[in-house]
Structure 1
Amino acid sequence: MTVELDRRSHAYRPDLADIRLKSQVSAQRYTEGARAHVIVPVAHVSPRPEARSSIDTQALYGEDLTVFDVADGWAWVQLASDGYVGYLPENAISDGASNTTHLVTVPRSFVYPGADLRFPPVHSLSMMSRVTVTGLAETRGTAYALLDDGSAMIAAHLRPLGETASEDAVAVATSFLHTPYLWGGRSGFGIDCSGLVQMALAMTGKAAPRDSDQQAASLGQPIDPDHDVLQRGDLVFWKGHVGFLEDAQTLLHASGGTMYVTREPLQAAIDRIARLYGPPTGFRRP
């Protein structure tokens, strides 16, 4: 019996496939791909190379990826952070690994043309964006990280790569309260339910799959609310949805109902969601 590989995490098409999949899939040719990195604050990753295609996920500034194909202004890639496969605009990436040193650890932060918060920002970066810090400066008592392109960020908003930013994933998720809901969103500018879970866990040093069905199948350990005492940090799953427990009675999630990250009583959420999608499908402890 042949098992079809999940195209979200395996790069293969009839004409081309990741060479690592050569023994598992049939394609006209195989490639190792080429290293590249993201050079825009946020790049939408889609299942098809079309401007009006849905958003599956997002790639963030400084994020590394593998490029398997480029055609008609689109790059077919696999993200290094979570292995997600899809298409993004060719002009959103640059060749080679990023060589970054620091991670943005707040939901959103400005990038200034120099070490002064009075300067008009060049752009903004989301949590989990990666930058290269080359030095430090201080202006009127505020510490700045100087970046390799001459710009600057608030130093307190960054942490060296590999350094855990938080011990509490729920506290990270709480910092996103009122962030707009965005289908496929994975940034401080717009985020979906599974993106919030992935982002918050990443800040505590825990890797998580991107989509809620993948998280429900493999993240942490299943628990039974009829026998196990629910606690802060547990995950509640529905068909196509997931949220954190802020405590045993409170759900924290990116809600398509309110269209922003919100908290609400768990039982109220269960009752409301049941009318459209049924009861929870499972509970897990990451």
Structure 2
Amino acid sequence: MSDLPDRRLNAYRPDLAEERLRGVVEAANYVTGTTCVVCIPVVQLRSRPELECGTDTELLLGETVRVLDSGGGWAWVKADFDDYVGYVPDYAFTPVVRSLTHIITAPRTFVYSGPDLRLPTVQALSMGNRIKVVDQRDMRGTRYFLLEGGEAVIANHCAEASLPLGGDYVSIASRFLETPYLWGGRSGFGIDCSGLVQLSMMMTGRTAPRDTDMQATGLGTPIDRSELRRGDLVFWNGHVAIMEDEKTLLHANGHTMTVSHEGLNEAIDRIGWLYDQPTGYRRP
């Protein structure tokens, strides 16, 4: 087994590495990177600068990254939120020039050209997207938040960015029911099992590693199956599910290709023939 740091969380190549890895890995040059902010609702992060390469995770509007290198239409970045490293199209970022005041709390919502639901939509946003609100307006009983360009979002689909949505991340995860399963997905447009855990926890002010194996070893504490309760996690090799109560779980899964409910015993029986029994249980 290699003693080199995990490439998902540590930025290094033969020609370049992040400064904190000086003396840990060999590289021709070391950089600290430039802080930028994601400027589109969702962008896929890949392990190579190729569109044919599968998605490892996604970055969301308003999240900050350190750009370590760029060229050929791609940027090599490290996400500030969870340290994930990879390549994204360079059009997805801008310099950090403004503070963001609110975060989207609905799984999906629209940006309208003005404060009226009858006006054209100009963009779709996901839960976790961060925006700057400059004013508000009421129209026929609906309150809108106004953005810098005059566009508007539904105020009830937003919350102040500094205020987490309470402590029950399971209730947040349940808002994603029937959202399509998407490998590497981390948004209301498509999400995978560990992305559902991470994004739901983020919305309640908690942090979680991105991938299932990271969560299985570094999130919370191990427990026995007999102790399972709401909010606990069940792990298989390459999969994680959230307990809604002692008998039912919620997960983004490739069986239904959605976020869905399933009985714990039924899930264990169904998954077992292909992926064996659960590898562990944890209380985050």
1:243 partnered with 2:229: no
Q: Percent identity?
A: 52
Quote the offset at 1:98 in angstroms.
Answer: 5.1
| 8 Å CA contact 1:193, 1:242 repeated in 2 | yes
Q: Which residue of structure 1 aligns with residue 111 of structure 2?
A: 111
C-alpha contact 1:9 1:84 (8 A) present in aligned 2: yes
1:47 and 1:40 map into 2 onto residues whose CA distance is: 20
Q: TM-score, normalised by structure 2?
A: 0.97
RMSD after superposition = 1.3
**Contact in 2 for aligned 1:65/1:77 (Cα 8 Å):** yes
Which of residues 266, 273, 277 in structure 1 aligns to 2:271? 273
How far does the alpha carbon of each residue in 1:174-201 deviate from its partner, in whole angstroms, 9 at most, with x for none?
1100000000000000000000000111
- Work out the CA distance in 2 between the residues paired with 1:40 and 1:134: 19
Quote the offset at 1:97 in angstroms: 5.3
Confirm whether residue 257 of structure 1 aligns to residue 255 of structure 2.
yes
Q: SS of the counterpart of 1:122?
A: strand
**CA 1:2 to 1:273, structure 2 compared with 1: closer, same or farther past 3 Å?**
closer
Aligned counterparts of 1:9 and 1:162: Cα–Cα separation in 2:
26
Residue 31 (structure 1) aligns with:
31
Matched residue SS, 2:82: coil
Counterpart secondary structure, 2:167? coil
Deviation at 1:144, TM superposition (A): 0.8
Greater alpha carbon shift after TM alignment, 151-160 vs 189-198: 151-160
Distance change (3 Å), C-alpha of 1:97 and 1:13: farther
Cα 1:224/1:29, change in 2 over 3 Å: same
Provide the rounded CA distance (Å) in 2 between the counterparts of 1:162 and 1:217.
29
Equivalent residue letter for 2:257? M
Please give the alpha-carbon distance, in whole angstroms, between the structure 1 residues aligned to 2:96 and 2:167: 32
TM-score w.r.t. length of structure 1 = 0.96
Q: Which moved more, 1:68-77 or 1:164-173?
A: 164-173
Native 8 Å contact 1:37 1:98 kept in 2? no
| Partner Cα separation in structure 2 for residue 211 and residue 100 of structure 1 | 27
Cα distance change of structure 1 residues 4 and 17 upon mapping to structure 2, 3 Å threshold: same
Per-residue CA deviation, residues 3-25 of structure 1 (Å, 9 max, x unaligned), is 31111111111110111111311
Cross-structure match for 1:43 = 43
Q: Distance in 2 between matches of 1:5 and 1:121?
A: 44
**Matched residue, 1:231:** 229
State the aligned residue count.
Answer: 284
Partner-residue secondary structure (3-state), 2:55: coil
1:55-74 maps to which residues of 2 (within 5 A)?
Answer: 55-74=55-74
Query: Which stretches of structure 1, 4 residues or more, deviate above 4 A after TM superposition?
Result: none
Range moving further from structure 2, 162-171 or 268-277: 162-171
Per-residue deviation, 1:136: 1.1
For structure 1, the residue ranges without an aligned partner over 5 or more in a row are: none
Distance in 2, Cα, partners of 1:231 & 1:85:
34
